[in-house]
Amino acid sequence: MTKKTNSGIPLKTFYGPDSGEQPGSYPFTHGVYPNMYSGKLWTMRQYAGFASAEESNRRYRYLLKQGVMGLSVAFDLPTQTGYDSDHPMAEGEVGKVGVPVSTLADMEVLLRDIPLDKVSVSMTINSTAAILVAFLIALADRRGIPYDRLRGTIQNDILKEYIARGTYIFPPRPSMRIITDIFAFCSDNLPRWNTISISGYHIREAGSTAVQELAFTLANGIAYVQAALEAGLKVDKFGRRLSFFFNGHNHFFEEIAKFRAARRMWAKIMKERFGATDPKAMMCRFHTQTAGSTLTAQQIDNNVVRTTLQATAAVLGGTQSLHTNARDEALALPTEDSVRLALRTQQVIAYESGIPDVVDPLAGSYYVEALTDELERQAMALIEKIDDLGGAVAAIEHNFQQNEIAGSAFDYQQAVDKGEKIIVGVNKFTIDEDRTIPTQPIGQEAVRKQLERLAATKSKRDGQKVEQALSAIGRAAAGHDNLLPHLIKAVKEQVSLGEISDVLREVFGEYSGQTV
């Protein structure tokens, strides 16, 4: 059906020249698919997870009723760093910034009544990503769902943890081995599963510029591809399941140009550097989340405007899925009302704005095209510096990316403090606020139930089978076997995330954060 404006003017799908680069064609500047949103809208996700598996499951089912198309799971810090909820290191952190998942029993509760063969599930987890994939696969087996029906993404991007976020466990090189094991297993068994979401989001949240976000993210992508090739994988096969995760920040036009540049750069890298021949292995498919670091505790309604502009830039830039932050997230976990408003923001853009009717609507803009070219040029120059240091892993070990981001973050904050950069409601246009804003509480009852379920699960297991499973994981880690089959077998015996992580710590060691 031909799209029309509100005045009835018929629209073409794309307004670029017929003889030039087309959407869905290499190097994908205009979009990875020929019709983009005029054929199918982006996946609307909302990132959620808190308190307990029960509470989080209730929020997921609420979101699905409100029109969310895919779930995005947030895990608490103990789960992210390889500790069970009953570990002393987990005390005070259970359920605080995400959902606690220690065993398959938790995963069953978390995804209760969620049709895994119909709903895409994205999991933001890195150091323990292989264990969470094992939980999901084991749950699919219990439900009789074929692996080829599972759709979703595991973040699985450990390099940005060393650069910007800090939820690492093992040193970089054994962590890369775990990632390539996930690539290999999922490439053979989960054809619709995205095996990594190479994240610029957290790099940007740590204070990088748009150029640094582009360069460091794609440099990490280069490192993952190189590691997979060295492990014997075929670029045209595993390259189809790589995906990216970018930040939607405040500078409207720079962000649009950044997304366009990312597609073009990655396509060239995969084709020219790695010899990919399958166009799908050259596509930079990405999720976008609006910038949490731009949200302010002052005048929180202003955050709705910020998020709307950021989300609009992501759509104009051609994102494949989108999460819009809630207005109260600078204060606490978002309430149901604020989450609904964040989702409605996406829905208004999708169904009322007319933006999705045309592919890459700003293509040909002198400004946007020039910004796209300049972002590509500067980001490629930074990637060349990383190459000169020996690649992303070696550069991390030399603190290169960390120092670059720290410098940019310092410069930005200096500009804010001096009033050279205006933050509305913070350093200009301030007001006295005395209203009480309701926030999402985390009750101790939820934590108590989590600990009770974990204790009950551990008490009912077959201890001998648990020990056998852990021994098998240790041998696989010390040798060359793919870890995933051993992890899946273990979690089916209710071996916990913390127990598996401890075995891997013994084999791989722990990363102290010290660099050369």
> How many structural domains is the chain composed of?
1
With 0-12 CB in 10 A as exposed, 13-18 as middle and 19+ as buried, what is 230? exposed
Among candidate residues 18, 9, 31, 103, the one with its CA nearest the CA of residue 284: 31
Q: Does residue 67 lie in a domain region?
A: yes
Q: Give me the torsion for CA of 252, 241, 190, 44, rounded to 10°.
A: 10
Q: Does residue 502 lie in a domain region?
A: no
Q: Are 342 and 327 spatial neighbours (Cβ–Cβ below 8 Å)?
A: yes
Among candidate residues 202, 444, 426, the one with its CA nearest the CA of residue 330: 426
Q: Are 451 and 85 spatial neighbours (Cβ–Cβ below 8 Å)?
A: yes
Which residue is associated with the tokens 């997230």?
329
Under DSSP, is residue 163 helix (H, G, I), strand (E, B) or coil?
helix
Distance CA 9, CA 210 (A): 36
Which pair of structure tokens corresponds to residue 394?
């070696």
Helix (H) or strand (E) holding 383: helix 366-388
Dmax over CA atoms of the chain, in Å, equals 72
Q: Please tell me the predicted confidence (pLDDT) of residue 516.
A: 42
Q: Does residue 8 lie in a domain region?
A: no
Q: Does residue 515 lie in a domain region?
A: no
Q: Does residue 450 lie in a domain region?
A: no
Distance CA 328, CA 330 (A): 6
Under DSSP, is residue 418 helix (H, G, I), strand (E, B) or coil?
coil
Q: Please tell me the predicted confidence (pLDDT) of residue 158.
A: 95
Which pair of structure tokens corresponds to residue 237?
């096969």
Q: Are 111 and 56 spatial neighbours (Cβ–Cβ below 8 Å)?
A: no
Residue 158 is which amino acid? I
**How does pLDDT run across 121-155, given as a tens digit for each residue?**
999 999 999 999 999 999 999 999 999 999 999 99
**How does pLDDT run across 235-269, given as a tens digit for each residue?**
999 999 999 999 999 999 999 999 999 999 999 99
Q: Are 210 and 258 spatial neighbours (Cβ–Cβ below 8 Å)?
A: yes
Which residue is associated with the tokens 């200096």?
414
What's the whole-model pTM score? 0.92
Under DSSP, is residue 413 helix (H, G, I), strand (E, B) or coil?
helix
Half-sphere exposure of 126 (CA within 13 A, CB side): 23
Q: Does residue 452 lie in a domain region?
A: no
Q: Which residues are bridge partners to 73 per DSSP?
A: 48, 123
CATH of the domain at 217: 3.20.20.240
Distance CA 109, CA 486 (A): 23
Domain that residue 126 falls in? 39-417
Q: Does residue 24 lie in a domain region?
A: no
Residue 186 is which amino acid? C
Among candidate residues 97, 115, 126, 241, the one with its CA nearest the CA of residue 183: 241
Q: Please tell me the predicted confidence (pLDDT) of residue 441.
A: 67
Per-residue pLDDT of the chain (516 residues; tens, 9 = 90+): 789 999 999 999 999 988 899 999 999 999 999 999 998 999 998 777 778 899 889 989 988 898 888 888 989 999 999 999 999 999 999 988 899 999 999 999 999 999 999 999 999 999 999 999 999 999 999 999 999 999 999 999 999 999 998 999 999 989 999 999 999 999 899 999 999 999 999 999 999 999 999 999 999 999 999 999 998 999 999 999 999 999 999 999 999 999 999 999 999 999 999 999 999 999 999 999 999 999 999 999 999 999 999 999 999 999 999 999 999 989 887 888 999 999 999 999 999 999 999 999 999 999 999 999 999 999 999 999 999 999 999 999 899 999 999 999 999 999 999 999 999 999 999 998 877 777 766 678 888 999 999 999 999 999 999 999 999 999 999 999 999 999 999 999 999 999 999 999 999 999 987 554
Which residue is associated with the tokens 């094992």?
134
Q: Does residue 496 lie in a domain region?
A: no
Distance CA 87, CA 78 (A): 9
Q: Please tell me the predicted confidence (pLDDT) of residue 52.
A: 86
